[in-house]
Structure 1
Amino acid sequence: MDAALPIADRGGPAQPLLLAKDLRKHFPVGGGLLGRGRKVVRAVDDLSLSVAKGETLGVVGESGCGKSTVARLLIRLIRPDKGTMVLDGDPVDEPHGISVSELRRQVQMVFQDSYASLNPRLTIGETLAFSPRAHGVSAAESRARALDLLAKVGLDPESYAERYPHELSGGQRQRVNIARALALRPRLVILDEAVSALDKSVEAQVLNMLVDLKGEFGLTYVFISHDLNVVQYLSDRVLVMYLGKIVELGPVEAIYGNPLHPYTHALLSARPSMDPRKRTREAPIQGDPPNPIDPPSGCRFRTRCPFAEDVCAAREPLLAETSAQSVACHMRQPGSGHSKAEAA
């Protein structure tokens, strides 16, 4: 297959671009004689998600909830302990599916640290041309593509192509990283806290640029961020994670307008307000997240939830669909046994 040609849309618009089912990743920690009885950090626990073609899926949650681990699993920077992935109908890394190399040609990632993501010994032009060259594109075409991408991300090719990463500001380096992610003409771009290190004026420019690039190149985004306002601006759907699991998932209007899970409600309540009459007087969430090595039984949020009851400790709530979104909470599941749940 010619690497210069865009990948065809094989499954049609109704087929998800990326489908992940029951992904699990546990990281072992020290302890135990000869490795026996060794404990694990439950970074991601049996997580399933789908990403529709052309959408932006926002992923939010506190630090340590597993957002970045999910990103690395989706691009196979780390291998899952369990679970499957399908890219536009093709299984990933299976005997009759596509290879990880082909996955990474169609799925690219932009990281938070703009400087560590670039080779300090390569010029910006060389950096952008490297991936196309490695995938069989001619030197002339790779160079032309690099210069064109610099222009697309708002950097003058004549001024920036021969510069080195240390000669650029943080915002300019992140624009280069975004351009590099587009060099192979991917279909899906995963942005892991890609704007969190930028000041607000530069962040706004980069966000608007991402919107323009999405329309121009027909991209799909998975946008990971702790900034709820940025996620609201950019996303079509929002996935809320807590301690390695999805607790709520739905359209951005439903999640922000009517959050159903207590954790989602607490996250939104913690957003700063410019109105002094709406000043937060007490912390929306009490306490620290539990240890992911030994998470609570049942609902993992119950140790910090003001509505927790016995059923929350006894059984783990499943992610179930409601009228607008899916939520994993016993209060929202009829007949669950919670005092606030409706009768079955």
Structure 2
Amino acid sequence: MSAAIDIRDRGGPAQPLLTVDKLIKHFPIKKGLGGKKAVVRAVDGVDFEILKGETLGIVGESGCGKSTTAKLIMGLIEHDSGQLLFDGEKIGSRALPMRSFRAQTQMVFQDSYSSLNPRMTVEASIAFGPQVHGVPKRQAIERARSLLARVGLEPTRFAARYPHELSGGQRQRVNIARALALEPRLVVLDEAVSALDKSVEAQVLNLLLDLKQDFNLTYLFISHDLNVVRFICDRVAVMYLGQVVEIGPADTVLASPSHPYTAALLSSMPSLDPDNRTEVAPLAGDPPNPIDPPSGCRFHPRCSLMEPVCPANVPPLDGVGELHRVACLARQPGSGHSLAPAQQVAA
């Protein structure tokens, strides 16, 4: 695949590659000794779009629903409700069956070792996907060797090795090569560099940027490291307790966040400057229980801007700037919050 126009592009460059609309996934559980039925609201109405050729980052605390959202997109688990569109077509429909979608969308997982079959060589792991999708064995092996070279692993040295014979960084390069073997359009990277040491992480991040350019890729990049997100992402979505609370250009969101939770995440980042040390905890308390989330704004029990209007009203994800949306009553005109901007009156 080259950086030229992709013949699979049905809607042109203006149409989002992936649209996630009101996506919901609740996991049923039994609560307490009596076995009372309840649900964990892992993903509870997630909305965002990924534009063609961009890298969208998803950040948030552990348990906010980042990885579950990725698995729902990939069809690894079934969603309860909501809609997933890929290039304007509903995923799993007659126009875009799941097999066709998975040929265009691949995923790189966090654990580089458990992602690979320990009984298969590196070459066989990369060539397996194309063979399943009808590529002749010899052509699939040639593609695997070419991709190994592209991700910085000499085929003559690494093709016949097994996963246990590689380092963590080398295994993740193999996983990236395997994801590219089907010539996808969208690659979902779920904490793909978080298990690597910093020097290897930098190499893999630079590799991902080069591959994006060379193969005309679109990335969904899930991470808890805001420095990595700032480096690689064009836009960023912030999730809290199963919902997107802020989304916008990475430079805007990470430089001047509009949501108090985003600001708290940024203030929790360690600094090498001794004059800029964090002396006060940016957030108080633990994340609320996803089985019984707070009413209204789910962040209000931990928010310094909380007012009586916050637990009484659910804030919509509204625009506060160009391509910048936030779910906070303190940022929305006419919400009733004392810090809300004045509502403009039509002339």
Query: How would you bin the TM-score normalised by the shorter chain?
Result: over 0.9
Q: Which residue of the partner structure matches residue 12 of structure 2? A: 12
Q: Which residue of the partner structure matches residue 46 of structure 2? A: 47
Distance 1:186 1:237 in 2: 21
Distance 1:20 1:166, change over 3 A: same
Write the letter of the residue equivalent to 1:271. M
Cα drift, residue 33 of structure 1: 10
Distance 1:74 1:139 in 2: 29
Aligned residue runs from structure 1 range 197-208, under 5 A:
197-208=195-206
Q: Which residue of the partner structure matches residue 328 of structure 1? A: 327
Q: Which residue of the partner structure matches residue 3 of structure 2? A: none
Alignment check: 8 A CA contact 1:7 1:106 kept: no
Q: Which residue of the partner structure matches residue 117 of structure 1? A: 115
Cα drift, residue 7 of structure 1: 5.5
Distance 1:59 1:31 in 2: 30
Q: Which residue of the partner structure matches residue 177 of structure 2? A: 179
Give the match's secondary structure for 1:147.
Answer: helix
Distance 1:249 1:237 in 2: 7
Distance 2:128 2:52 in 1: 27
Aligned residue runs from structure 1 range 130-279, under 5 A:
130-279=128-277
Give the match's secondary structure for 2:30.
Answer: coil
Alignment check: 8 A CA contact 1:62 1:226 kept: yes
Q: Which residue of the partner structure matches residue 3 of structure 1? A: none
Distance 1:212 1:323 in 2: 31
Q: Which residue of the partner structure matches residue 87 of structure 1? A: 86
Cα drift, residue 89 of structure 1: 1.5
Deviations 1:118-156 (A, max 9, x none): 000000001111010110001111010000000010000
Distance 1:311 1:108, change over 3 A: same
Q: Which runs of 5+ in 2 are unaligned?
A: 1-5
Distance 2:266 2:245 in 1: 14
Distance 1:193 1:7 in 2: 30
Distance 1:192 1:117 in 2: 12
Provide the alpha-carbon RMSD of the alignment: 1.3
Distance 1:153 1:214, change over 3 A: same
Write the letter of the residue equivalent to 1:167. E
Distance 2:76 2:34 in 1: 28
Distance 2:290 2:321 in 1: 31
Write the letter of the residue equivalent to 1:23. L
The correspondence for 2:306, drawn from 308, 311, 320, is 308
Distance 1:204 1:31 in 2: 44
Cα drift, residue 233 of structure 1: 0.2
Give the length in aligned residue pairs: 337
Write the letter of the residue equivalent to 2:22. D
Cα drift, residue 343 of structure 1: 2.8
Structure 1 residue ranges (4+ consecutive) displaced by more than 6 angstroms after TM superposition: 32-35
